[in-house]
Structure 1
Amino acid sequence: MTDESQNRDRAMEDHVDRLRRLWARELPDLNTEPMAILGRAFRLGNMVRPSIEETFAGFGLDRGEFDVISTLRRCGPPYRLTPTEMYALLMISSGGLTHRLDRLEKAGLIRREKSAKDGRSVQVALTEAGAVLAEQAFRTDMASELAFLDPLDTQEREMLAGLLRKLILGIEAQAAKEKAGVSPP
C-alpha cells in the first residue's frame, strides 16, 4: 500500500477504527470485530446523549423525568399506570421511580390516585400539563435526533435500523435463555 493510499484510508477512519488499528498492532491475534459494532453503538450513545439531555433540560426535565411522563403519554388515554407497570416499562428501581414521581408531582405533571378497582393500590396519572409537556419535549427531541441521521439516506437508515433490531433481538433471546438456565452452545 502506498503512503498516499494509506493516508487516504486513515482520513476515512473514525475513532473506533483508530482504536482497532492500535489494538491490532499490540494484540494481532485478538479479533476486535465487536468494537466495530458494539464500540460504535456505545460511542454513538455517548455522542448524542448531551444533545438529548439539553433538549429535555429546555423543558425543565431530566432524562429520567422525561422517561416517566413519556411512558404515561405513549400508553394512551387515560394516561395511567400502576407503579409496578411503570417499573417494568422503565426498568428502574422502585426507589428511583418514587424519587422521580415525587419531583413530577410537585411540578404538577403527574398525580397519584387511588385505584378505582382496589383502594389499596395507587395509579400514576399524567396531568394535562404533563401530557402537553411530554408531547412537546418528544417532538423537539425527535426533530433534534433526526438531524443526526442526515449522513444516511432513507435506505441506509432502514437497513441500519433493521440490522440493529436483529442484533438486539438476538441478544435479548440469548439473555432470556441464560435467565431460564439454558447454557449457550
Structure 2
Amino acid sequence: MSKPGGAEPARDMMDEVQRLWRRARPDDDVGPMGVVGRIQRASRLLEQGHRDYFRQFDIDDGEFNVLATIRRYGSPYVVSPGILLKTSYIKAAAITNRVDRLVAKGYVTRQTDPDNRRKVRVSLTPEGLELVERAFGGHVANEDRMLEALDSGEREQLAGLMRKLLVSLGDVPVD
C-alpha cells in the first residue's frame, strides 16, 4: 500500500498489531481494530499532552474541563452538577471528586439552589475564572501543536469523520 509517487506511508504501532493479528488469525478481518485502536491510542496521547500542559497550573485536565464548562456557560458562571455530568460523559462520582478538589483549591464553590433547596449549583470563584482565562489560550495553542501533523483541510476532514462516528454512537448535544 504505497502513496502515489511511490512513497510509503509512515507506520505506527497499530500497523504492527494488525500485522501480527493477520498472521495469527488470517481468517479474521482486523481492519476495525486499526481504526478503534488508533482512536484509543490517539486519545491517550492527547490526554498526556493535556496533563503535561495543565501541570503548570496545578490542575489536571478533568479539573480544567469542569472549570471550562462553567466558564463557557457565561456569566454568572454557575451550573448544576447535572450540566457537568451531561457535558463530560463521566460518572457522577468523578464529577463529585473533581468538584471537591476544585472547592479545596478555591476555584469553585457549591451552594444550594435558591429556587430548589434540594439542588446544588457550582460556581466559579474569581480565582477559578482567572485560572481559566489564564490557561485557555495556552490550552488551545497546545492542542494546535498536538495536531500540527495535519493541515487545516485534514483537521476539518478528521473532525467531520469523528463527528459522524460520535453521533452514530449516541454522542449528541444535550438540552
- Specify the TM-score bucket, using the shorter chain as the normaliser: 0.7 to 0.9
Structure 1 unaligned regions, length at least 5: 1-7, 174-185
CA distance in 1, matches of 2:101, 2:130: 17
Quick check: 1:55–1:137 contact (8 Å CA) kept in 2?
no
2:66 aligned residue: 68
1:126 aligned residue: 124
Between Structure 1 and Structure 2, which shows a larger proportion of helix residues? 1
TM-score, length basis structure 1: 0.80
Moved more, 137-146 or 96-105: 96-105
Q: Which amino acid aligns with 1:105?
A: V
SS in 2 for 1:55: helix
CA distance in 1, matches of 2:10, 2:103: 49
Q: Which whole-Å deviations, capped at 9, do the CAs of 1:152-171 have from their partners, x for residues lacking one?
A: 11111111111111111112
- CA pair 137-28 structure 1, distance change in 2 beyond 3 A: same
Moved more, 110-119 or 41-50: 110-119
2:3 aligned residue: none
- 1:1-185 alignment, distance < 5 Å: 12-172=10-170
SS in 2 for 1:124: strand
Quick check: 1:70–1:135 contact (8 Å CA) kept in 2?
no
Q: Which whole-Å deviations, capped at 9, do the CAs of 1:8-50 have from their partners, x for residues lacking one?
A: 9877321111111111111111111112211111111122222
Quick check: 1:72–1:125 contact (8 Å CA) kept in 2?
yes
TM-score, length basis structure 2: 0.84
- CA pair 125-30 structure 1, distance change in 2 beyond 3 A: same
How many aligned residue pairs are there?
A: 166
- CA pair 40-65 structure 1, distance change in 2 beyond 3 A: same
Find the structure with the greater CA-based Rg. 1
- The root-mean-square deviation of aligned C-alpha atoms, in Å, is 2.1
